[in-house]
Amino acid sequence: MDLLNTLVDKGLRRELPTREEALAVLATSDDELLDVVAAAGKVRRQWFGRRVKLNYLVNLKSGLCPEDCSYCSQRLGSKAEILKYTWLKPDEASQAAAAGVAGGAKRVCLVASGRGPTDRDVERVGKTIEAIKEQNEGVEVCACLGLLSDGQAERLKDAGADAYNHNLNTSEATYGQITKTHTYADRVDTVQKAHAAGLSACSGLIAGMGESDEDLVDVVYSLRELDSDSVPVNFLIPFEGTPLAKEWNLTPQRCLRILAMVRFVCPDVEVRIAGGREVHLRSMQPLALNIANSIFLGDYLTSEGQAGQADLDMIADAGFEVEGAGTTTLPAHRADALAAARAAAGQGPCGSSAAEAGCGSACGGCSGHEAVPAQAPVAASAPVTAGAPAQAPAGDVRPDLVAVRRRGAGTDLAPNA
C-alpha cells in the first residue's frame, strides 16, 4: 500500500505526514488493519525497539473538582461513585508509588484534581516528590496538577519533578463543547510553561468523545507542534454519572487506527496507551504494543485497570520487554534536546533517564479551584463536533468493563501493581 510505505519512510525520517495521509490512516478498512499496525510497528521499533515503558499513577487528590470537563468522573456535578479524598500526605503517596516501582514502573505520575495548584499545593507536591525520590532511587516523577501559574513549573522542577503532564484532550475547534470552565489556550499555555522550565512535556488526547477524524488529526498535529516528549492516548471511559456516559463510540480496530495515526504524526515520541486501554482495546491490547511504547501499570485515577501481573504477562507474551530504569526512554536526539532545554532553564540535566509523562484514566488533564456555576452538560448523545456526525463506527456498550477504583491510594486496600 503506497500510503503505508510513504508513512513508514516519513516516520523513519521524522518527517511530518500530510493531513490527508493522517486522515487516510483513520479511514483504512478492517482488511488493511494488520498492514497499518505492521507499518506503525516499523516506526515504533526504529525509535523505541521492543521496549515498553511502565508508568504508575498516584491520585493525590480525588474528586471534588470545580471544573466541568464532560469526560471526567471527578468533575463538578459528577454522579459517578468514585473515591473522593483530599491531598495524600507525602509518605502515603510515596508508599503508593513504591508499589508501582516494585511492579516495574520507571515513572510515577502524581495527579491531583482541580483547576490548578496553589503555591502551597506546589510546596506540598514538592515534599511528596522528595519523599518518592528518596525511597525509590532513579525513579522519574511527573506532576499533573492542572493549569500552572507563573513560576510554578520552575518550583516543581527545583523540587525534583522530571516532567509535567497537561493534555490538550481534543481539537481547539471542539474544546468549548467539552469544557466551559477553562479554554484550550489555557491548556496550551501550561504545556508551554512546563517546556520553558525545562520539564519534559507530556500532553495527549482523549478519543471517543464523539469527535470527527479531523478533530483527532487536529489535536495530534497540535501536540507535534508543542513538541511533547510523551503523548498519552486516552480512550474515553464513559462513566455513569457523567455527561458522556452514553458515548460508546470506539471499537478495538478504531483504537488501533488512532494509535497508528499518532505514531505516524509523532514518530519519535513516547506514545502511551492511557485510560480506557482494557475497556476499548480488550483482547487487542497486545497488538497495540506494536504501535505504542508505553502503558500505565495497574489502576487508573478513578477506575481499575487489569491486574499489574496481567500487564507484565501480556508484554512478555507479545515478545516485548519492560524498559529498565537504566535505559533512556527517548531516542538520543530528543534526550539531548531535553537536556539542552534543562540547561537553558538553568538546571542540570535530568539525573534519571530522559523523561516524559502522562496521566491516564478519563482524566485528561487537571485543573480547578474556584467554584463555578453548574451548567448544561454536553448532550450525552450528541457528537462533539456540532453538525458533523462522528465518523467512528459505534462500539459495544460495555459498562460492565468500567470498574470504579476501590483500592490503592486513598483506601486501606493494597494497590494493583
**32 or 240: CB nearest ligand SF4:** 240
359 a catalytic residue: no
d(CA 204, CA 233): 6
**33 or 76: CB nearest ligand SF4:** 76
**59 or 352: CB nearest ligand SF4:** 59
Asked if residue 202 belongs to a known ligand binding site, the reply is: yes
In degrees, rounded to 5, the angle at the alpha carbon of residue 417 between the alpha carbons of residues 76 and 410 is 40
Among 69, 255, 350, 359, the active-site one is 69
Query: Least distance (Å) from ligand SF4 to the CB of residue 298?
Result: 20
**12 or 372: CB nearest ligand SF4:** 372
Query: Least distance (Å) from ligand SF4 to the CB of residue 148?
Result: 13
> Please, how many CA atoms are within 13 Å of residue 124, restricted to the half-sphere of its CB?
17
366 a catalytic residue: no
Among 72, 255, 350, 366, the active-site one is 72
Asked if residue 350 belongs to a known ligand binding site, the reply is: no
Asked if residue 109 belongs to a known ligand binding site, the reply is: yes
Among 44, 75, 115, 142, the active-site one is 142
Asked if residue 363 belongs to a known ligand binding site, the reply is: no
Among 44, 107, 124, 202, the active-site one is 202
d(CA 227, CA 334): 10
Query: Least distance (Å) from ligand SF4 to the CB of residue 247?
Result: 16
266 a catalytic residue: no
**38 or 64: CB nearest ligand SF4:** 64
Among 44, 107, 109, 350, the active-site one is 109
142 a catalytic residue: yes
Asked if residue 65 belongs to a known ligand binding site, the reply is: yes
65 a catalytic residue: yes
144 a catalytic residue: no
- Where on the chain is the footprint of ligand SF4 (CB under 6 A)? 65, 67, 69, 72, 74-75, 113, 146, 363-368
Query: Least distance (Å) from ligand SF4 to the CB of residue 229?
Result: 21
Among 272, 277, 334, 342, the active-site one is 272
255 a catalytic residue: no
Query: Least distance (Å) from ligand SF4 to the CB of residue 66?
Result: 7
**181 or 290: CB nearest ligand SF4:** 181
322-358 per-residue burial string, b: 16 or more CB within 10 A, e: under 16: bbebeeebbbeebbeebbebbeeeebeebebbbbbbb
**374 or 414: CB nearest ligand SF4:** 374
Query: Least distance (Å) from ligand SF4 to the CB of residue 136?
Result: 25
Find where cell 482495546 sits: 281
Asked if residue 69 belongs to a known ligand binding site, the reply is: yes
Binding residues: 65, 69, 72, 109, 142, 202, 272
Residues with catalytic function: 65, 69, 72, 109, 142, 202, 272
Binding residues for [4Fe-4S] cluster: 65, 69, 72
